[in-house]
């Protein structure tokens, strides 16, 4: 077994190879003069782990090309961050089910697929090959333990992320709650923990994705007003679109943490060992 990664997932692909105690295959990435993408892979093995987060259109095309370059091997796909997964249904007539379109396209040529904290597990059924999802909730929890916070309060930004936050909190037996939104007026919303006051506490807001950072920035500003001692933000997939990282800092977040499913300067823990476990099964 060898591991190969798209340009966006070079570091994680190498970490997965290290965890599997195997080699990573090098790839030359370039473009034709008209802008089309070109890849040329080193020698594949009989079994290949192909790692590629879909962070934009180019990374999707590179993933498709790498699978084709490894034709003839038993290809096992790893999509650490699956962009387009949030459009998992038609919200209005005329829209595509983007998650399904992408899942079907990338299933071809591989035997299994592993995703990480996919937006909704129903997307797994869109693949035409067996697909499983792994969660990094415990890994976030283990990272928070290294931060040596004083009895932190783990907070989900909404009810939908409460189960994820509970799984994070379980790693350190910390308190856990989720934020509740109350509409005060037409354009004013108050966010506060549903049951546990944040006053005087170190609070870690956890979510699967930070995209614009809007949700967590609003929550942080309100928690600081409610007397939270320090606010941290931890997620699996750090998209940080449109200046999100700076927005979070301005909102008073002491530290922003994400994994390496999308490789960032603040990627402080890795998805590699969790992915390796599924590949060994």
Catalytic residue annotation: 181
Q: Which of residues 141-160 bind ligand R5P (CB under 6 A)?
A: 157
Rounded to 5, what percent of the chain is helix, strand, coil?
Answer: 35, 30, 35
User: Based on CB atoms, which residue is closest to ligand R5P, 135 or 273?
Assistant: 135
For 265, other C-beta atoms within 10 Å of its C-beta total 10
Q: Which residues contact 105 (CB under 8 A, 6 or more apart)?
A: 64
CB 191, CB 219: distance < 8 Å:
yes
Q: Shortest CA distance to 3 belongs to which of 275, 270, 281?
A: 275
Residue choice 210, 223, 251, 279 for contact with ligand R5P (CB under 6 A): 210
The CA distance from 152 to 275, in Å, is 28
Residue choice 22, 212, 226, 278 for contact with ligand R5P (CB under 6 A): 212
Residue choice 215, 220, 261, 270 for contact with ligand R5P (CB under 6 A): 215
Closest distance between ligand R5P and the C-beta of residue 33, in Å? 37
Using CB under 6 A, count the residues that bind ligand R5P: 11
User: Based on CB atoms, which residue is closest to ligand R5P, 49 or 161?
Assistant: 161
Our finding on whether 211 is near ligand R5P (CB under 6 A) is yes
- The pair of three-digit structure tokens given for residue 39, joined into one six-digit string: 């890849």
Q: Which helix (H) or strand (E) holds 276?
A: helix 272-280
User: Based on CB atoms, which residue is closest to ligand R5P, 109 or 157?
Assistant: 157
Three-state secondary-structure class, residue 70: coil
Closest distance between ligand R5P and the C-beta of residue 213, in Å? 5
Residue choice 88, 133, 177, 208 for contact with ligand R5P (CB under 6 A): 208
Phi, psi of 79 (to 5 degrees): -115, 90
Our finding on whether 275 is near ligand R5P (CB under 6 A) is no
Our finding on whether 88 is near ligand R5P (CB under 6 A) is no
Which stretches of the chain bind ligand R5P, using CB under 6 A? 157, 161, 207-215
């Amino acid at each position: 077994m060898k591991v190969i990664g798209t340009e966006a997932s070079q570091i994680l692909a190498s970490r997965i190879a290290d965890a599997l105690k195997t080699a990573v295959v090098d790839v030359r990435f370039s473009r034709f003069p008209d802008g089309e993408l070109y890849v040329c892979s080193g020698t594949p093995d009989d079994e290949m782990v192909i790692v590629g987060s879909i962070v934009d259109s180019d990374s999707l095309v590179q993933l498709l090309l790498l699978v084709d370059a490894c034709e003839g091997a038993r290809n096992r796909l790893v999509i650490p961050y699956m962009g387009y997964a949030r459009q998992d249904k038609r919200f209005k007539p005329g829209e595509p089910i983007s998650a399904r379109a992408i899942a079907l396209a990338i299933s071809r040529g591989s035997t299994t697929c592993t995703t990480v904290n996919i937006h909704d597990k129903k997307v797994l059924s869109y693949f035409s090959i067996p697909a499983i999802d792994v969660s990094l909730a415990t890994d976030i929890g283990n990272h928070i333990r290294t931060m040596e916070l004083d009895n932190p309060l783990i907070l989900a930004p909404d009810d939908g992320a409460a189960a994820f936050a509970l799984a994070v909190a379980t790693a350190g037996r910390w308190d856990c709650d989720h934020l509740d939104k109350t509409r005060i007026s037409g354009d004013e919303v108050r966010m506060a923990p549903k049951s546990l006051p944040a006053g005087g506490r170190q609070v870690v807001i956890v979510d699967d994705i930070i995209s614009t950072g809007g949700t967590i920035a609003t929550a942080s500003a309100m928690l600081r007003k409610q007397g939270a001692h320090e606010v941290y933000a931890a997620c699996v997939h750090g998209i940080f679109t449109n200046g999100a990282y700076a927005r979070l800092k301005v909102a008073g977040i002491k530290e922003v943490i994400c994994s390496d499913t999308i490789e960032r300067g603040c990627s402080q823990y890795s998805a590699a060992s969790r992915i390796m476990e599924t590949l060994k099964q």
